[in-house]
Amino acid sequence: MISWKCTSQVEALEDAEAKRRHLLAEFLQKKSARRAVNRAPEKISSQDSDTGVQNHQLIMKLPHDLLFKIFILLPAESLFMLQFVCKKWFNLINSSVLIKHHSQQSETVLICHNMTLLGPENNLKSYFHVLDPDRGDHNFIESNIVDLVDVITSYDGLVLATVENKKSLILMNPLTRKKTFLPLGTLSDFRFESYGIVFCNDSSLYKVVHLFCERQGASGCEILSINATTREWTRIEGPSSDSLRRIRQTNPVSIGGSLYWLSKRRARDYFVISINVENEKFITKSLPTSGARSSRLMEIGGNLGFVSFEEVDKLQAWILMSDGGLEEHWERSFSIIVDVHVVPICCSRNGKGMVLESPRNCIYVYEFDNDEMRVVDSEDYIGLWFKRFEKLYIPHRNTILSWEDHDYQLQE
């Protein structure tokens, strides 16, 4: 039985990888076809040419305020390309004010943990695999790092990834390809470790937090500040080994300078582990209701949210609210009636819906406005060997942010 199970998992893994390569090949083929069409010679009359020149001149003369309003509504991919049109646009797009406003409304997508290392033409390339839950589109962003292996976590449009043979960590923006190398954290039992990225307002920089269980059984925590002067892990006191080994959501939620993990003491007794990176202290928080297997922490409207099944077919959401002081309380928010077994993944950035998945590898978006749930992806490349959805995809935001963009955070 064990031998059959291992063989089945290997076959499922190979099948999932083959299907992901097929998706990549289709994507690159369509991209190549679009380029060929764009490069095809066209007969342009002098009148059309004059009209094109006039339109270009009008666009270039648009006032600064109007350009700003247009740019913050564009997808991050388009914004990244438009910065090279002229010096004026470059300065505007890379200004801290525009980066701030654009990142606040940036779209939420799902980014794959596992990298595609080999292109369809056997060229050694790595690609970030991104799924747009609103449209169900698969997108592949080529990386300038060939030996990328896994995406560990994502925050603010930045991803933390590992390289082949675990030689180092890389913090990068997949869209802009801007990257920085980080030293590896403490070697530990990979089954019980978690990485998170968070922005620290006091020091105006990003920090990486690493929770881990050492092979001897003891738990630990270390923090790495992303700055130009030093790149060393600092060891601090972490949560108990028992709490860390019972973490149910290894990809933490990062909100307001804190990281949050969902853990449990025993069956259906869930609680929250959190750390504030400014004081570097761990605390625990209770939940508004007993957790269930499909419970999940997520960001909801800039606050910490907890989503769990209140009834068999009723998914209930709570939001952790503060009265401005030290007191916090959970407020009941929206509820969703579902007729299929689903697991909540994340809320859409615009707050108009929630992304969910089913054990049958279907991805849904529940739209609050019309109270409907629609299927956006039903491919079976996920593979039965994934026990939890977050082992394949994690929420990600498309932005043009860099870890060096500190001043925009301070203006909030």
Task: Give the per-residue pLDDT at 219.
Answer: 83
Asked, for residue 43, whether it belongs to a domain, the answer is no
Asked, for residue 38, whether it belongs to a domain, the answer is no
Task: Give the per-residue pLDDT at 165.
Answer: 75
Asked, for residue 266, whether it belongs to a domain, the answer is yes
Asked, for residue 261, whether it belongs to a domain, the answer is yes
Task: Give the per-residue pLDDT at 15.
Answer: 61
Same domain, 313 and 397: yes
Same domain, 87 and 183: no
Same domain, 165 and 237: yes
Asked, for residue 24, whether it belongs to a domain, the answer is no
Same domain, 193 and 84: no
Asked, for residue 36, whether it belongs to a domain, the answer is no
Q: For residue 196, how many C-alpha atoms fall within 13 Å in the half-sphere facing its CB?
A: 26
Same domain, 196 and 63: no
Residues of the chain predicted below pLDDT 50: 1-6, 9, 52-54, 380-390, 407-412
Task: Give the per-residue pLDDT at 253.
Answer: 93
Q: Which domain holds residue 169?
A: 2-18+106-410
Same domain, 58 and 132: no
Task: Give the per-residue pLDDT at 172.
Answer: 92
Same domain, 187 and 282: yes
Asked, for residue 33, whether it belongs to a domain, the answer is no
Same domain, 344 and 388: yes
Please enumerate in sequence order all residues whose Cβ is within 8 A of that of 85, keeping only pairs 6 or more positions apart, or say none: none
The domain total for the chain is: 2
Same domain, 182 and 61: no
Same domain, 68 and 165: no
Same domain, 68 and 113: no
Task: Give the per-residue pLDDT at 382.
Answer: 43
Asked, for residue 252, whether it belongs to a domain, the answer is yes
3-state SS record for the chain? CHHHHHHHHHHHHHHHHHHHHHHHHHHHHHHHHHHHHHHCCCCCCHHHHHHHHHHHHHHHCCCHHHHHHHHCCCCHHHHHHHCCCCHHHHHHHCCHHHHHHHHHCCCEEEEECECEEECCCCCEEEEEEEEECCCCEEEEEECCCCCEEEEEEEECCEEEEEEHHHCCEEEECCCCCCEEEECCCCCCCHHHEEEEEEEECCCCEEEEEEEEECCCCCEEEEEEECCCCCCCEEEECCCCHHHHHCCCCCCCEEECCEEEEEEEEECCEEEEEEEECCCCEEEEECCCCCCCCCCEEEEECCEEEEEEEEECCEEEEEEEEECCCCCEEEEEEEEEECCCCCEEEEECCCCCEEEEECCCCCEEEEECCCCEEEEEECCCCCCCCCCCHHHCEEEEECCCCCCCCCHHHHCC
> What is the CATH classification number for the domain harbouring 185?
2.120.10.30
Same domain, 88 and 166: no
